[in-house]
Every structure is written in C-alpha cells, then in structure tokens.
Amino acid sequence: MTKEVWYAAYGSNLHVDRLAYYLLGGRPPDAGRDYPGSREPRMPGPPVPLELPGAVYFATESPVWTGGRAFYDPDVPGRVLSRAYRLTAVQFSDLAAQEMYRVPGGDLDLGPVLRDGRAACGAGRYETLVSPGALDGLPLITFTAPWRMDEVEHTVPAAGYLRHLAAGLLAAGVWDRETVTGYLAARPGAAGHWTAPHIAALLE
C-alpha cells in the first residue's frame, strides 16, 4: 500500500486555505460545521498545477455555498484544471472522510482504486474514488459522485463558489484570468447562466 498520494483537487480545495481546514481543523467562514482535521495535522508542500482528462460539472446543492457544487467525470472527453497536493495516505483518508460527512480516523483501502482506477466507498456524493493517473511515481487520486455527468440534473453554482474556484485556479500561476473564467463559464451547470466576464467581475 502506498504511503503517499497526490490528491487532485478540482473544486473548493483548489484553494489552499480551504484545504487547510480539512487537515488542520476548524470552521471555514460561513460554514455550518467544524472540521476535525487530520490525524496528521500539517500542510503539504506547494500544490502542483495540472490538467486531468475528463470534465467538471455542477450538480446537487451545497449547504455551505448554496447552488451547485463541482463533480468530476473522468470518462467525458475534455480537460479539468486541477491542483495536486502531496499527502500521506492517512491525510488523504481523513480528508476524504470529512468530504463524505464521516468522522475521520480510519484508513481507506486504496488498493481497489489503485488497481481499477475507480472504487466506491459508498453511494453518496464524493464517495467514489478515482485515480486518473500518476505524478512523479505516486498515484493521483480524487473523489467524486458515483453517477456520470449525464445521469444527474445540473445545478447553477453560486457566485461565492465560483469566485472561490477562480481564485484557487489563478493562484496556481499557470492559467491566466481569461482561461480560468472561460473554463468555469463553460462547465455544465454554469454554462448559459454565467459568462466569463460575469465571473471575472466576481474577482474585482
């Protein structure tokens, strides 16, 4: 079993400050609950920007942000702008548990996802692990919903959520504002409701 993985963030954890709550604990601004953090409460090194195969879309409704939240479908042609964090397997297990609304403390069995590229830890949102490849000899892993992009109704994301995603992507330092805002505006759920200029205005 691998002791370290690259966690590929494509949603709210694109922003390092947000990831910190899952690792160090605490309550994010405007959140309705405290995050217990990880059994190994320390921050990783700087995230690595990368592009994954697949597509991001917005669906369901976030109780924190309101509006749609981001999910990843690796089987849809396209590209996903991501930031990868090098975490221990314990940190990734505890991060995933909190995203799944579970109490952290147990180690995930990463064997199935490393072997098959996909593994279900439950039927809920963010309870499906996906490994879209490797980076520097370590597996890339993220989590998403069990359904496919075309199997769920898309939901319009809230302004605050889009601002947060855009800020996280821009902080990577490799994508310019036009690329980031155009990318987010084209995601299913946002497309037809948000334009790149509207998202750019959120950053002002």
DSSP string, 86-102: EEEHHHHHHHHHHHTT-
Quick one: pLDDT at residue 63? 87
User: What digits encode the pLDDT tens for the residues 123-146?
Assistant: 999 999 999 999 999 999 999 999
Task: Say which residues have a Cβ less than 8 Å from residue 200's Cβ, sequence separation at least 6.
Answer: 177, 181
Quick one: pLDDT at residue 131? 98
For residue 90, is pLDDT > 90?
A: yes
- Cβ–Cβ < 8 Å for 12, 28: no
For residue 161, is pLDDT > 80?
A: yes
For residue 30, is pLDDT > 80?
A: no
- Pick from 7-16, 23-32, 76-85, 175-184: least confident: 23-32
**Which structural domains are found in the chain, ordered by start?**
4-202 (3.10.490.10)
Instruction: Output the average pLDDT for the chain.
Output: 96
DSSP label at residue 14: G
pTM of this structure: 0.96
CA angle centred on 144, ends 52 and 56, rounded to 5°: 45
CA dihedral sign of residues 160, 98, 125, 55: positive
